[in-house]
Amino acid sequence: MLLELFWSFLKVGLFSFGGGLVSITLISQEIVTQKGWITANVFTDLIAIAESTPGPIAINAATFVGMQLGGIIGAIVATTAAVLPGCAISLSLGLLYQRYRRLTLVKGVMDGLRPVIVATIFVGGFTILRNALFAGGLLALSAVDWLSVAFFVIVFILAQKTKLSAVMLIVGGGVVGGAIRLLLGM
């Protein structure tokens, strides 16, 4: 199991181009769809926890999944696997980019990567949004979690129109959401 955990998160670490949000899609495909280690609902909770704690989402998610599946050793194995490719590739590419960044080919590669990365971030974000706002990820009006929709809209507006930090929005959302669920007995 530890070897399989290492390999799964090594792949996530190896192909998470564009940052942590891209890894959401990769992690979901690997641990929910292909391996079935956790459910889509647990995955949505995992992302909420990983985003609410300091550090990159892929590393936090790897630690969480590793802990769930293999205890402390599993957490260390998964986290190491998620970090290893990024460190090696970043060091190598940083050196190469500094040397060759003015070449037409390098500029072209960067032009091609930008839209692909944005699209992958969008897919990951949409997956999380769908699972957070619709019961079981179903895109049906009957499955809408209206409290989550209200939170999403309010935080989206606050993030766009105010200077509140993401930390304040996250902490505020957790406090208000917890209070509402307690008051409503949900």
- 120, exposed or middle or buried, with CB in 10 Å at 0-12, 13-18, 19+? buried
The pLDDT, as a whole number, for residue 99 is 94
The pLDDT, as a whole number, for residue 81 is 95
> Higher pLDDT residue, 84 or 53?
84
pLDDT band at 71 (very low <50, low <70, confident <90, very high): very high
pLDDT band at 144 (very low <50, low <70, confident <90, very high): confident
Per-residue model confidence as pLDDT tens digits over 23-58: 888 888 899 999 999 988 888 888 888 888 888 888
Residue 177 has which token pair? 């959401």
Q: Taking Cα atoms as reference points, which of 71, 66, 72 lies closest to residue 30?
A: 66
The mean pLDDT of 83-105, rounded to a whole number, is 90
Map tokens 């500029």 to a residue.
Answer: 107
Structural contact between residues 43 and 30, judged by C-beta atoms closer than 8 angstroms: no
Per-residue model confidence as pLDDT tens digits over 118-132: 888 888 888 888 887
The model carries a pTM of 0.56
Q: Give me the chain's average pLDDT, please.
A: 87
